[in-house]
Amino acid sequence: MKSKTSPPRNPTLGEKLHHLLISQEGVLFVIMLVSVLFLATRTDKFLTVDNLLQQGRFMTEVGLIAIPMTYIIITGGIDLSVGSILGLTAIVLGWTWQELGFPLELAIITGILSGTIAGFVNGLFIVRVGVPPLIMTLATLALYRGLAEGISEARSARGYPEWFFQLGQGEFLGIPTQLWLLIIAVVIFGIILARTRLGRALYAIGNNETGARFSGLTVNRYLLFIYTFSGFMSGVAGYIFVSRVSTTRSDMGTGIELDVIAAVVLGGTSIFGGTGSIPGTIVGVVLIQLLKNGLTLSGVTSDATIVVIGSVLIFAILVNNFIQSRRSEN
């Protein structure tokens, strides 16, 4: 047989690796590795299985909400109300169980459902009334928090039965229960974004919404879906949070929206829409959590830690911008 050189030559492994390494996610992953190695030299308590799994437990809520946030930011939108939805879900869960006497299983479903509805209302106004996402979710950031305080009358619901804590405090096959949930969600929604029509539609909307509309995409339906999805995931995160800390308070999840958005943007999603990926987001979530933990373990106090995290965020974005612009010049 004569060997022929096929014109569209498959890239060699080396080229693939090089391509992967200078991608947004690749650069970030390298920064994460460097940080982890550096922190591991500072303290031997950091790079242990127990500690890393515990950090997985702590980052699950932010990670779960970061998935729909990536979807939303890819379309050029934003959702600031996720922390308030988390709080509302927690309060509805505790209130329906303790005050209305729902069975706990039903209270969990009602809680998550109310989070989903809260997200749906966001989406409805953004799509039907045309309120910009920033304004709408800024309004519901206050509105949902107010609802949570109003419903709870500032009282906490406590004293859940033992099985309720399995999700937030238990383990399954040696790994924190909620981390399984995060891993499954990341795989499923990562594939959906990268490989399906829905995913491609989101990128199209983010790159050119008008163009997407004229191309026959049902833009409104997609947008309504992702904001509802965001409410749903915030609701699930709320349930996990209550299970982890064993009480409900109306101030739960305050400020979590900023942690989530920081992780998503750090993960390479453009705030103007059109680019981004779930693997990038997850590397962002993990990097922030490990920095927080590793710095505390090596004796840096919390106030200095947030300064370092802010600096790393800026540094990572600068490095990535530099490499990506070099890459597009080539």
Tell me if 232 sits within 8 A of 116, measured CB to CB: yes
The 8-class DSSP code of residue 130 comes to -
Tell me if 226 sits within 8 A of 75, measured CB to CB: yes
Q: In degrees, to the nearest 5, what angle opens at C-alpha 315 toward C-alphas 309 and 318?
A: 145
Binding status of residue 302 toward other proteins by CB under 8 A: yes
The CB-of-246 to other proteins minimum distance in angstroms stands at: 6
Binding status of residue 306 toward other proteins by CB under 8 A: yes
The 8-class DSSP code of residue 8 comes to S
The CB-of-15 to other proteins minimum distance in angstroms stands at: 42
The CB-of-65 to other proteins minimum distance in angstroms stands at: 13
Tell me if 113 sits within 8 A of 105, measured CB to CB: no
Q: Which of 45, 195, 221, 327 binds other proteins (CB under 8 A)?
A: 45
Q: Based on CB atoms, which residue is closest to other proteins, 175 or 317? A: 175
Stretch that binds other proteins, among 34-42, 72-80, 278-286, 297-305 (CB under 8 A): 297-305
Q: Based on CB atoms, which residue is closest to other proteins, 167 or 278? A: 167
Gap between the Cα atoms of 159 and 154, Å rounded? 16
The CB-of-302 to other proteins minimum distance in angstroms stands at: 5
Stretch that binds other proteins, among 11-19, 177-185, 209-217, 240-248 (CB under 8 A): 240-248
Comparing C-alpha atoms, which of 19, 62, 6 is closest to residue 257?
62
CB atoms within 10 A of CB 298: 15
Stretch that binds other proteins, among 5-13, 26-34, 47-55, 108-116 (CB under 8 A): 47-55
Binding status of residue 90 toward other proteins by CB under 8 A: no
- Give me the half-sphere count of Cα atoms (radius 13 Å) on the Cβ side of residue 33: 7
DSSP assignment of 277-290, as one string? -HHHHHHHHHHHHH
Q: Based on CB atoms, which residue is closest to other proteins, 210 or 302? A: 302
Q: Which of 41, 166, 218, 247 binds other proteins (CB under 8 A)?
A: 247
* Residues in 255-284 at the binding interface with other proteins, rule: CB under 8 A: 255
DSSP assignment of 191-257, as one string? HHHHHSHHHHHHHHHHH-HHHHHHTT--HHHHHHHHHHHHHHHHHHHHHHHHHHHSSB-TTTTTTHH
Kindly determine how many residues on this chain lie close enough to bind other proteins according to the rule CB under 8 A: 43
Q: Which of 137, 190, 249, 262 binds other proteins (CB under 8 A)?
A: 249
* Residues in 119-178 at the binding interface with other proteins, rule: CB under 8 A: 121, 124-125, 128-129, 143, 146-147, 149-151, 153-156, 158, 169
Q: Based on CB atoms, which residue is closest to other proteins, 69 or 201? A: 69
Gap between the Cα atoms of 60 and 152, Å rounded? 25
Q: Based on CB atoms, which residue is closest to other proteins, 105 or 153? A: 153
The CB-of-300 to other proteins minimum distance in angstroms stands at: 9
Binding status of residue 221 toward other proteins by CB under 8 A: no
The CB-of-176 to other proteins minimum distance in angstroms stands at: 13
Rounded to a whole number, what is the distance in angstroms from the first to the last CA of the chain? 37
Tell me if 104 sits within 8 A of 305, measured CB to CB: no
Tell me if 250 sits within 8 A of 145, measured CB to CB: yes
Binding site for other proteins (CB under 8 A): 43, 45, 48, 50-51, 54, 58, 121, 124-125, 128-129, 143, 146-147, 149-151, 153-156, 158, 169, 241, 245-247, 249-252, 254-255, 292-293, 296-297, 299, 301-303, 306
